[in-house]
Amino acid sequence: MVVTRFAPSPTGYLHIGGLRTALLSYLWARRNGGKFLLRIEDTDFSRNDEAAARAIVEAFKWVGLEHDGTIEYQSSRLAIYQEYAQKLLDSGKAYKCYMSKEELEALREEQTARKERPKYDNRYRDFSGIAPEGREAVIRIKAPLEGSITVHDGVKGDVVFNVADILDDFIIARADGTPTYNFVVAVDDALMGVTDVIRGDDHLSNTPKQIVVYEALGFRVPRFFHVPMIHNHEGKKLSKRDGATDVMAYKTLGYTPEALLNFLVRLGWSHGDQEIFSMKEMLELFDPSDINRSASVYNVEKLDWLNSHYIKNMSNDKLCELLEFHGVILVSHDKREILLDALKERSKTLVEMANQINEILVRPTGFDEAALKKGYKEESKGILQTFARALKNGGELHLPSDYHHVMEQVVAQLEIGFGKIGQPLRIALMGKLSGPGLDTVMAIIGVDETLARIDALLAHQ
């Protein structure tokens, strides 16, 4: 059975690079009928943020990535790590090192002066004497002294690391007893039965150390898939300015979970020329072996395009539900179907849609001066007054076609083009020269509000 995991550190928000890794891990597990686990790596107590841990869980709920079992917190597993560190000590595969910080810093300075790679010199590797008085010990694992370690990677192929270039006897437990990252990751993945590790390729350099731990403890080494990073258009690491922000910020900005997941799965993975992927299709088609080896480029225009697609094809019930987060309540609005159908084609985000809804439902408090200069002429007052009288005498008006018929009557009566009535009427209704169809706007706000807005413009002029 395929078992994957997502294991963030709660030292900050969950950004989209992390969410992409989680999504790919989720898809691969679900496609194979396996398990997808969530583990919070919170052993670095000095940097942990409880709010960040909660935010990670909140982001998972928002996008609908359901993990199996309970969330594992490394901070509650310290006894397990101590047990396995002791096993390595007892088997002679790890040892206590009494080197002080000052000694280690002095060693590194000497090595740097000789233009050597700074590393621990293994001075306590075979130490059998009496522990120096007053010295606290760290625990170091015995790493290979020569040869190479090969990472069999499903994305990059075999990656060979020369031991002399990357390894020393690295610390697996600090002097206070807390374990280190590379040690606990290997122990946890093994004990949790993780078979496939999908993560960013910024972790690739950690993998040889983790393989050392796996092999020292007799654990099976999982399959690795190191995913290239997301870059901006300049080929640099994604920054907050580019979009590497809190996943929940995308909710605030008006993006849908479906669009965000679709966008992320396409960053570095493809299936022919297809761009739109439902979750069902992702689950049927995704294979981490098909991930591109080169970095992907963040493109907000693509995200906007995808988001507009999902908004356009979303049910109005679902739209109403999502719009409530943005302060728009339409559940009981009698013209909500007309309103939403009119704006679906015009909105890239839910925020845009919410703003446009408010522009329609809320009477303008002023009128754009440039619009007045362009669209309100000497004859506009008389045209609007004639149209207002026609509305009052128009009988039952409900649908956009009803209002359009009244406009046609006025145009024919006054022998003018539609622009002569359209521009000043739009200014009256919207306060500017842009917006949905006039007949649609009037059908949404009704006769009385239409007349009130016309009166407001006439009073203004």
Residue pair 444/335 in contact by the 8 Å Cβ criterion: yes
Q: How far apart are CA 445 and CA 339, in angstroms?
A: 10
The encoded tokens of residue 218 equal: 């007799």
Residue pair 136/175 in contact by the 8 Å Cβ criterion: yes
Q: Which residue has the tokens 């020269």?
A: 433
Pairing mode, if any, of strands 157-162 and 148-153?
Answer: antiparallel
Which residue type, as a one-letter code, is found at position 189?
Answer: D
Annotated active-site residue 240? The verdict is yes
Q: How far apart are CA 420 and CA 380, in angstroms?
A: 7
Residue of 56, 53, 29, 31 whose CA lies nearest to 43: 53
* Half-sphere exposure of residue 392: CA atoms within 13 angstroms, side-chain side: 9
Q: Classify residue 168 by its DSSP letter.
A: -
Helices (H), 37-173: 50-63, 78-90, 101-113, 163-166
Residue of 384, 321, 375, 380 whose CA lies nearest to 353: 321
Does 240 show up as a binding residue in the annotation? yes
The helix or strand, by DSSP H or E, that contains position 226, with its residue range, turns out to be strand 223-227
> Which one from 96, 156, 236, 240 is the annotated catalytic residue?
240
Residue of 335, 451, 453, 443 whose CA lies nearest to 396: 443
Residues recognised as catalytic:
240
Binding-site residue numbers for ATP are 240
Binding-site residue numbers are 240
